């Protein structure tokens, strides 16, 4: 797959914009998923994933073609997500219900700032609960945990995506796991 991607990248660099569409369709689900899990909101996830692809297009000439493209793309997306989380103000999404969602967004957005009462958490559907628990993780650990357990990427690749030494990634994942354990003791 990387071969096809590299071919398309060359075409885009030569100025053939339409070759980019195949790149988007190959990675869109993975990128959207990371953004969704990081941000807990479909609307924002689409926004950021889209922004990530556009930035990738604009900066494609800076991509080192000896490297893995997905790593580079994930890096752009996770950086954008982290920026967004830091800038996030609650009023930007609480009053804007997103169509086609099942309350996930509402819960997970709220949750980031204030934990829900236990009985509320117990009433959650499993998928809702997964997102809720991810959203309660400190930002630092969240990206590493999402890349490890949602995207199922090897530690080495996560270290390249986050541009952190392997040891730091391991520490973050360990702490993230401990944080999850404490959050979900009664599971």
Partner 1 sequence: MKPCPEEIVQYMHDYLDGEITRRDEQILKEHLEKCPDCQEHMDQLSRSVAFLSSASHIEAPEGFSSRIMASLPKERQSAGLRRWFGRHPMLAAVAMFMLLAGITLFSNFNTSDGQLAVSTQPNLVIEGNKVIVPEGEKVEGDLFVRNGELHIEGEVEGDVTVINGSKYMASTAVVSGRIEEIDRAFEWLWYTIKSGIKDGLSVFEGPDAGDEEE
Q: How far apart are CA 118 and CA 43, in angstroms?
A: 27
Minimum CB distance to partner 1, residue 43 (Å)? 10
Number of helices (H), then strands (E), in the chain:
10, 0
Phi-psi region of 153 (alpha: psi -120 to 50; beta: other; left: phi over 0): beta
Q: How far apart are CA 29 and CA 111, in angstroms?
A: 25
Binding residue for partner 1, selected from 4, 54, 94, 96, defined by CB under 8 A: 54
Please say whether the beta carbons of 37 and 134 come within 8 A.
Answer: yes
25 binds partner 1 (CB under 8 A): yes
Minimum CB distance to partner 1, residue 150 (Å)? 6
Tokens of 6: 């590299």
Both ends of the chain: CA-CA distance in Å? Answer: 39
17 binds partner 1 (CB under 8 A): yes
Stretch that binds partner 1, among 53-61, 67-75, 80-88, 111-119 (CB under 8 A): 53-61
Instruction: Give the largest CA-CA distance in the chain.
Output: 58
21 binds partner 1 (CB under 8 A): yes
1 binds partner 1 (CB under 8 A): no
36 binds partner 1 (CB under 8 A): yes
Give me Rg for the CA atoms of the chain: 18
Among positions 93-132, residues that touch partner 1 (CB under 8 A) are 126-127, 129-131
Please say which residue, 85 or 141, places its beta carbon nearer to partner 1.
Answer: 141
Q: How far apart are CA 183 and CA 162, in angstroms?
A: 25
14 binds partner 1 (CB under 8 A): yes
Give the residues lining the site for partner 1 (CB under 8 A): 14-18, 20-21, 24-25, 28-29, 31-33, 36-37, 42, 46, 49-50, 53-54, 57-58, 126-127, 129-131, 133-134, 145, 149-150, 152, 155, 170, 173-174, 177-178, 180-181, 183-185, 187
């Amino acid at each position: 797959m990387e071969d096809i991607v590299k071919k398309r990248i060359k075409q885009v660099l030569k100025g053939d914009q339409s070759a980019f569409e195949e790149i988007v369709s190959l990675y869109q689900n993975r990128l959207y998923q990371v953004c969704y899990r990081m941000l807990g909101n479909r609307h924002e996830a689409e926004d950021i994933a889209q922004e990530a692809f556009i930035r990738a297009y604009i900066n494609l000439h800076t991509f080192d073609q000896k490297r893995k493209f997905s790593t580079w793309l994930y890096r752009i997306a996770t950086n954008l997500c982290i920026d967004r989380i830091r800038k996030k103000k609650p009023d930007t999404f609480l009053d804007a219900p997103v169509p086609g969602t099942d309350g996930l967004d509402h819960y997970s957005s709220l949750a980031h700032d204030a934990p829900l009462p236990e009985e509320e958490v117990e009433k959650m559907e499993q998928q809702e609960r997964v997102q809720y628990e991810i959203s309660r993780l400190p930002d630092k650990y969240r990206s590493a945990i999402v890349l490890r357990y949602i995207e199922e990427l090897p530690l080495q690749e996560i270290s390249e995506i986050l541009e952190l030494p392997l040891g730091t990634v391991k520490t973050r994942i360990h702490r993230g796991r401990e944080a999850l354990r404490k959050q979900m003791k009664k599971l």
